[in-house]
Amino acid sequence: MSGPPPLLTHDPSTSGPDDRPTSLALADPPGPPPRRPGTGGGGDGDGGGRRPGGRKQLVRRIVLWSLAALIVGPFLAFAIGWVAFKVPSADDVANTQVATFTFADGSPLATVRPNNINRVNVTLDQVPEPVQHAVLSAEDRSFFSNPGFDISGIGRAVWSQLTGGIGGGSTITQQYIKVTTGQDQFSLWRKYKEIVLAAKISKEQTKQEILENYLNAIYLGRGAYGIQAASQAYFGKDVQQLNASEGAMLAGLIQSPSRWDPAKNEDKSRERWNFVLDGEVQMGWMTQAERAQQQYPQWVPPSSAEGGIPGDANGHIYNQVRAELEQNGISEAEINTEGLTVQTTIDPDKQKDAVDAANQVLKGQPDNLRTALVSVDPKTGAVLAYFGGNDGVGLDYAQASKQPGSSFKPFVLAAALQQPDPIGLGTQYDGSSPQTLAGQKVSNSEGVSCGRCSVKTAMTQSINTVFYKMALDIGPQKVADAAIKAGIPAAPLANPTGGISLGDKNVTTENMAAAFATFAADGVARQPYLVAKVTTSDGRVIYDHGAGSSAGTQAFSQQVARNVTESMTDVASSSRIGLRDGRPVAAKTGTVQSSIEGQNNDAWTVGYTPQIATAVWVGTDDNSPIKNSAGRPVYGRMLPGSIWQQYMSDALRGTDVEPWSKFTPIGQAPVSDYAGQSPAPTRSAGSNDDGEDGQQPRNRDSGDNGDSGNSGNGNSGRGNNGNGNGNGGDSGDSGDSGDSGDSGGDG
C-alpha cells in the first residue's frame, strides 16, 4: 500500500544558493527531541554524554602539559635563577651579629659578640697539598669531577627532612654557598638557590678558585674563620707549616667544630682524624705506608674565652647548647650571623645551687679533684642544671666517660624484674664473699657478707656477689639492653660480661642522670635536652622543642620502674646523705677501685625524686687515686654524696613533696632482713677502713669497680659495743655494712 502523494517541493537542481523552498514536503514524523548535553545514557552515535574519544583526548592533553611542565619548568626556573642570583665571594661572608643565650627564665647566660671573630685569607698556594687533600677527603672526594652539586646528596637531604632527619651530604661548592650567604636552614627554596649558584660558580670559577675561597670562608671553631685562623687557633702556627696529620685533624672538625674540638671531645676528634686519613689512602693521595706513620697531632688548648664564650662554669652549658643546635640543623655560622636568641632549659637558681654545692664541698680538698653534676627533669627531659667544671673553656667533666661502679646495679635489677620468672625485691640470694662465679672470683671487699639476704637489702648494702650472680642468671646482654632502654648509649656497652653488674663500662654524668630519670618517670625514657627555643633577630621562631613531643618512650612498665625505685629508697638514709627536709628519695652510690691497692679512681652518687634526677661524679684528670683532705680514699657516699645531698636539698627547697606512684611488687615481695627472715650482712672482725670526717667508711666493690662498705671503725674503740646491724649503710658499693659491732666505732 502506497503512501500519500508528495507535496510540491523545492528542486535544488533549479534553484540558486539563496533560493527558498516554495512549498512543503510531507516528511517523516519527527524523532524524539535531542538530549541536553551531559544528560541521559550513553549509546551509539550522537546521543547524550561526552564521547569516549573526547575523554581520552582530555587525559592526553593533561599528561602532555604535565610532562612539559616537569621538563620545561626546572629549566625555566634554573634560567631565572642563573640571571637573578649573584655569585658570592669569600669576602661576602654574612655580616656577623650578636647571638644571645639565655637561661630558662630569659635572663642572660652568654652573649657572643662578632668583634672577636678571626679570619685571615690565604692563597691556595699557601695551603700545603696534604692539607688540601685532607679537606677534600673529609668533605667532598669527588670535588674535581662533580658539577658543583650532588643530586643524590640533595635527595638524601629532602628524604631526611621528610622522615625527621637533619639533612644530607653537600659538596664543597654547596657548603661554600651556605657559608657565604649565611643560609644553612633546610628549605626547598634554599636548595634550589644552592643548586643554581653551585652550577653558576662552577662555570665562572675554576675548581682551584672555589677551593681557595672555601678554605678562607669555612668556620672551624674557636672563633676561627678560614684555614689560616684555624691553624693558629689549634696549633699556634701558620697554615704553611701544617703537616698531613695536623691538616687531617682540622679537616675532621669542619662538620661540627663545636662538638669535635679536641679540647672537648678528643675521642671524636681522633675518630674523624682516622676517617680523613683513611679516605686519603682510598683516593690515592697517601700511601698505606705513609698512613701507618701518621700520629695524632699535639694541639694547643684554647687560650681564653673567645667571642664572648663564658670562661666560668656557664661555658660548658654554652658549648653543649651549640652542639645541640648543630644536631638540630642550626650551624655555628647561623649563630654568628643571624642574631639568634637561644633560650636554654637551665634554671638559673638550680644552676647556682649546683655550682655552690660543687665548690663548697670541694673547698679545702686536694686541688686535683674534679667533679661534675647534671640534673634533669624526669617529666620532660629538660636539663635543669649542668656543671662540668669551673673552667668554661677547659675539659667538660660532665661529658667525660668514666666507669660508674655500683651505681650501675639498678640496671641489673631492671633486667631481672622483666624475666619470665622475675627476680623480685624479696628474692633471697647468697651474699657471702668471696665466691667464684663463671670462673671469676668475686668479693664483697672488707669481708662484707650476708649468707642469705633479699635483693633490696643487697641493693642497700651493695653486695657485689648478689648482683654479679644475678647478671649471670639473666645474661649480661640483658643488663646492657636494660641500660640502653633507660638512656645509656649502646656503643660503650658492647660485649658485656658479668662485670657489667659492677659498672665496668664507661658512661658520662649526663648519661647517668638521664637514665635514672627514666626510673623517676615511671619507666618513660626522654632524651635530655638543653635548647628550648631559638628565635631570629626579626622574631621568627626557627626551633621550638616544646612544639615537639615530650611524651618520651615507655622503656619499662610503671611496675618495673617503681620496683627499681623501691630498691633504692633506703640507700640515701643509710649512707647519711638523705635530704634536709626528709623527703623520700631513691639513690645509688658507686666507687671504682684503683689498680693501686686500697685506693679508688672514681666515685658517684646518682638519685632522684619525682621532680629531679641528678648524677654527681668525683674523680681526677689523670685517673689517679682520689683522696680527701685527710689523705683517705674517697667513696661514693662521701664527697659526691655530699654534693648530691646539698644540691638536691637546695634545688627542692620550698617545693611540694611529690609521692612515688603506686608500688606493686613483682615476684617475691620485699621483707625486712632484720625480722628473722635472713641474717643481716656482717663484716669480718678486724677490718680497719677509715671513714671521712669522723664518719664510717664504705666497702669497695670487688674487681675493678665498686664502693667500699662501712667498716664501722670511725673513731677508735668499741664505742657503744658497736651496733651490730648498723643502719644498712649503702657504702658505696660493695655495701655498707652499717655500724659494725666487731669493728667498734661511734656507730
Residue pLDDT, tens place only, 446-461: 567 888 999 999 999 9
Q: What is the mean pLDDT of residues 72-92?
A: 55
The verdict on 267 and 380 lying in the same domain is no
Q: Which of 330-339, 430-439, 542-551 has the highest mean pLDDT?
A: 430-439
Q: What is the mean pLDDT of residues 588-595?
A: 94
Whether the CB-CB separation of 393 and 311 falls below 8 Å is answered with yes
Lowest-pLDDT choice from 184-193, 202-211, 655-664: 184-193
Q: Please tell me the predicted confidence (pLDDT) of residue 732.
A: 38
Q: Please tell me the predicted confidence (pLDDT) of residue 547.
A: 67
In three-state secondary structure terms, 212 is helix
Cell numbers standing for residue 554:
615507655
Cell numbers standing for residue 196:
643554581
pLDDT for residue 543 is more than 60: yes
Amino acid at 488: I
Q: Please tell me the predicted confidence (pLDDT) of residue 58.
A: 81
The verdict on 359 and 240 lying in the same domain is no
The verdict on 407 and 510 lying in the same domain is yes
Q: What is the mean pLDDT of residues 279-288?
A: 97
Number of H helices and E strands in the chain, helices first, is 22, 18
Domain-ending residue, one of 628, 659, 683: 683
In three-state secondary structure terms, 529 is strand
Strands in 388-473 per DSSP E: 428-431, 435-437, 440-442, 450-454
Backbone angles phi, psi at 148, to 5 degrees: 110, -15
Cell numbers standing for residue 386:
649542668
Which residues does 465 contact at the CB level (< 8 Å), separation at least 6?
429, 430, 431, 432, 433, 434, 435, 437, 442, 443, 444, 702
Give the residue, 507 or 160, on which the prediction is more confident: 507
The verdict on 399 and 522 lying in the same domain is yes
Whether the CB-CB separation of 99 and 342 falls below 8 Å is answered with yes
Give the residue, 361 or 86, on which the prediction is more confident: 361
343, 413, 337: which is closest to 97 by C-alpha?
A: 337
Give, for 587, the enclosing helix (H) or strand (E).
strand 586-593
Residue pLDDT, tens place only, 90-115: 555 545 567 889 999 999 998 876 54
Residue 287 lies in a domain: yes
Domain-ending residue, one of 652, 683, 714: 683
The verdict on 275 and 351 lying in the same domain is no
Give, for 375, the enclosing helix (H) or strand (E).
strand 370-376
| Residue corresponding to grid cell 649468707 | 451
**CA 456 remoteness from chain centre:** 32
Other Cβ atoms less than 10 A from the Cβ of 581: the count is 11
The verdict on 350 and 288 lying in the same domain is no
Residue 102 lies in a domain: no
The verdict on 200 and 139 lying in the same domain is yes
Residue 121: pLDDT band with limits 50, 70, 90: confident
The verdict on 147 and 289 lying in the same domain is yes
* pLDDT averaged over every residue in the chain: 80
Give dist(CA 722, CA 499) in Å, integer: 33
The verdict on 263 and 401 lying in the same domain is no
Q: What is the mean pLDDT of residues 718-723?
A: 33
Query: Could you give the percent of the chain with pLDDT greater than 70?
Result: 72
Residue 625: asked if its preceding bond is cis (omega within 30°), the reply is no
Q: Please tell me the predicted confidence (pLDDT) of residue 151.
A: 59
Which residues does 528 contact at the CB level (< 8 Å), separation at least 6?
374, 376, 381, 382, 383, 487, 510, 513, 514, 517
Give, for 601, the enclosing helix (H) or strand (E).
strand 600-608
Give the residue, 78 or 86, on which the prediction is more confident: 86
In three-state secondary structure terms, 216 is helix
The enclosing domain of 383 has a CATH number of 3.40.710.10
Instruction: Report the DSSP beta bridge partners of residue 699.
Output: 735
Three-point CA angle 221, 201, 254, nearest 5° = 15
Q: Please tell me the predicted confidence (pLDDT) of residue 77.
A: 54
> Residues 309, 312, 313, 316: what is their CA dihedral angle, to the nearest 10 degrees?
30
Amino acid at 467: F
Whether the CB-CB separation of 215 and 124 falls below 8 Å is answered with yes
Domain-ending residue, one of 641, 656, 683: 683
Q: What is the mean pLDDT of residues 372-398?
A: 96
**CA 318 remoteness from chain centre:** 15
Q: Judging by DSSP bridges, how do beta strands 524-525 and 224-225 pair with one another?
A: unpaired
In three-state secondary structure terms, 293 is helix
633, 161, 554, 156: which is closest to 369 by C-alpha?
A: 633
Which residues does 644 contact at the CB level (< 8 Å), separation at least 6?
357, 373, 577, 587, 605, 606, 607, 614, 616
CA distances from 246 to 41, 143, 253, 306 (A): 82, 21, 11, 22
Query: 533-539 contacts: CB < 8 A, separation 24 or more?
Result: 533/342, 533/343, 534/325, 534/330, 534/340, 534/341, 534/342, 534/343, 535/340, 535/341, 535/343, 536/338, 536/339, 536/340, 536/341, 537/97, 537/338, 537/339, 537/340, 537/341
Q: What is the mean pLDDT of residues 201-225?
A: 87
Q: Please tell me the predicted confidence (pLDDT) of residue 24.
A: 36
Q: Judging by DSSP bridges, how do beta strands 224-225 and 118-119 pair with one another?
A: parallel
Residue pLDDT, tens place only, 245-278: 999 999 999 998 978 999 889 999 999 999 999 9
Cell numbers standing for residue 243:
703537616
Residue 719: pLDDT band with limits 50, 70, 90: very low
Residue 354 lies in a domain: yes
Q: What is the mean pLDDT of residues 63-68?
A: 73
Residue 20 lies in a domain: no
How many structural domains comprise the chain? 2
Give the residue, 646 or 745, on which the prediction is more confident: 646
Whether the CB-CB separation of 741 and 724 falls below 8 Å is answered with yes
The verdict on 235 and 354 lying in the same domain is no
Query: Domain range spanning residue 443?
Result: 346-529+550-683
Backbone angles phi, psi at 595, to 5 degrees: -70, -15
Give the residue, 117 or 659, on which the prediction is more confident: 659
| Residue corresponding to grid cell 653486695 | 463
Q: Please tell me the predicted confidence (pLDDT) of residue 620.
A: 96
Residue 30 lies in a domain: no
Q: Judging by DSSP bridges, how do beta strands 613-619 and 586-593 pair with one another?
A: unpaired
Residue pLDDT, tens place only, 10-48: 444 444 434 434 333 334 445 555 554 444 444 444 444
pLDDT for residue 214 is more than 70: yes
Give dist(CA 508, CA 634) in Å, integer: 19
Give dist(CA 102, CA 104) in Å, integer: 7
Residue 579 lies in a domain: yes
The verdict on 286 and 410 lying in the same domain is no
The enclosing domain of 211 has a CATH number of 1.10.3810.10
Residue pLDDT, tens place only, 285-342: 999 999 999 999 999 887 655 566 788 999 999 999 999 999 998 987 778 777 899 9
Q: Please tell me the predicted confidence (pLDDT) of residue 62.
A: 80
The verdict on 228 and 358 lying in the same domain is no
Q: Please tell me the predicted confidence (pLDDT) of residue 86.
A: 59
Cell numbers standing for residue 174:
654547596
Instruction: Report the DSSP beta bridge partners of residue 118.
Output: 224
Other Cβ atoms less than 10 A from the Cβ of 272: the count is 22
pLDDT for residue 570 is more than 90: yes
Q: Please tell me the number of Cα atoms within 13 Å of 125 on its side-chain side.
A: 0
Lowest-pLDDT choice from 42-46, 227-231, 718-722: 718-722
* Active-site annotation, residues: 139, 406
Q: Please tell me the predicted confidence (pLDDT) of residue 559.
A: 98
In three-state secondary structure terms, 552 is coil
Whether the CB-CB separation of 100 and 344 falls below 8 Å is answered with no
Lowest-pLDDT choice from 75-84, 95-104, 226-235: 75-84
Residue 705 lies in a domain: no
691, 497, 516: which is closest to 588 by C-alpha?
A: 516
Backbone angles phi, psi at 77, to 5 degrees: -60, -40
pLDDT for residue 76 is more than 80: no
Residue 69 lies in a domain: no
Classify the C-alpha dihedral 333-335-339-340 as positive or negative: positive
> Residues 139, 144, 150, 151: what is their CA dihedral angle, to the nearest 10 degrees?
-160
660, 603, 669, 612: which is closest to 637 by C-alpha?
A: 603
Which residues does 160 contact at the CB level (< 8 Å), separation at least 6?
166, 167, 168
Whether the CB-CB separation of 653 and 603 falls below 8 Å is answered with no
Which residues does 603 contact at the CB level (< 8 Å), separation at least 6?
405, 589, 590, 591, 592, 617, 618, 619, 626, 634, 635, 636, 638, 639, 640, 707, 732
Give dist(CA 585, CA 695) in Å, integer: 21
In three-state secondary structure terms, 605 is strand
512, 541, 505: which is closest to 528 by C-alpha?
A: 512
